[in-house]
Structure 1
Amino acid sequence: MEHISLAVIGGTGVYKLAQLDDVSSHQVETRYGTPSGPIRVGTLLGQRVAFLARHGEGHSLPPHKINYRANLAALQQIGAQRVLALNTVGGITEHFGPRVLACPDQLIDYTWGRISTLCDEPGTDVLHVDFGHPYTPMLRSKVLAAAKVTGVRLQDGGCYGATQGPRLETNAEIARMRRDGCDLVGMTGMPEASLARELGLDYACLAIVANWAAGCGDGDEITMAEVLANVDAASSGLPELIGELARG
């Protein structure tokens, strides 16, 4: 097992990691089943980094069908102890508009019916993990420091609301989330974050704001073309940031 400095999970619009060289592919099976696709391990700015496309490299898996347990277990099996999640999201509050890159520090889980714990497996211990700070504070600090070193503009903090999907939310649902204190809305933040905690992995999120959430923008219909264009723009500095983070 080689030393992996950092594992990155890519969301919608991020199906590979730019500037990853000397890439090898790993098809990993876990006790929880098969992950979303092959894990690509390569060198980024001198560091060995693993990458996994959360939805599959062809975006074939909707949020509620992703095997989050297998994804995280597979990354751990190949030697990763730190995971950076890239999540494509909608923006709710004023500082989280399209093309903003954010590092949230809180989340609220609105999902349902997903396997959300390792404790579903027969014979496993019942885990009551501390989840008051859902993202590992030390890793978050290092993400913020890497952004500062590389000059990548990053919004520090914010609350991520995880919804079921795959449909987008109604105006009323987003209004409720705003009242609840959510700044961002996405479909894949949970149970990924809590499973990482149960597995003992350090875990942080970089939220890529692709569009205004329902009722928060100019009222135009959200299109995938708009989403992908905004993701590309917001992601331009990610290779340098991730490479710096992997060194830390």
Structure 2
Amino acid sequence: MFRVVIADDEETIRNGLKRLIESYELDLSVIATAQDGEEAIEVIKKYHPEIILMDINMPFMNGLEIIETVRETDKDAKIIIISGYSQFEYAQKALELGVFSYILKPINYRDFKNILLKAMDAYSQRMWEVSKLKEGDAENEGCKDVGKLAIAYMKENFSQNQLSLNLVAQQFHISQSYLTRVIKQKTGVSFTDYLNRLRINMATKLLTDKDNNYSINDISNMVGYSSQHYFSRAFKNYMGVSPNKYRNGE
């Protein structure tokens, strides 16, 4: 779950952004809001959010001063400026300080969601690279190819019925949205579809193996389904026939 801090001197803006983020149903949690620059610094140091939404004009310290302070200790947080000011000097300074995006009010609902998704993806990718560097694997191409490693992990663990998008994302310290994208790019199908294909492919081998007498329920459990009913339905969706008919060559 990505932690978000919202800093804006207008309560209606803070509350509106919080409700908007919650409505997207993303892997985001607004953990704190701040009404001025000093409070913003306080909550950012306390919660270490991955994403910071901030207005430029606030009491005590403006947004640019806050960013300079934050960047002294946190180089990776994705900071998104939301401002009513379009002056070039503000945007230029913000970019120099490593701001992820500069949005002008009023906010476009769809565009804002896309920016949040990109910020989550960028943070996930950065953390993945950092974790690999810490492991002394900086030269390994795999550190830039989390999709390839995630697929290998799924191939090794698909028989575990608890395997899920969230579990694999946590395994590689990335967001669910980022994992969804890289799996789609690598396989051409969704995470769920790819996982089902791995399981059904193994099930077909078990069903046609004349040296075993596994029941349909046994095979269902062996390939990662906790329910025989769900397994049979998934098998028919992919193979066009039920597991029993497939076994009997019908």
Normalising by structure 2, what TM-score? Answer: 0.29
Q: Which of 1 and 2 has greater Rg? A: 2
Hey, which of these two has a bigger chunk of strand by percent?
Answer: 1
TM-score normalised by structure 1 residue count: 0.29
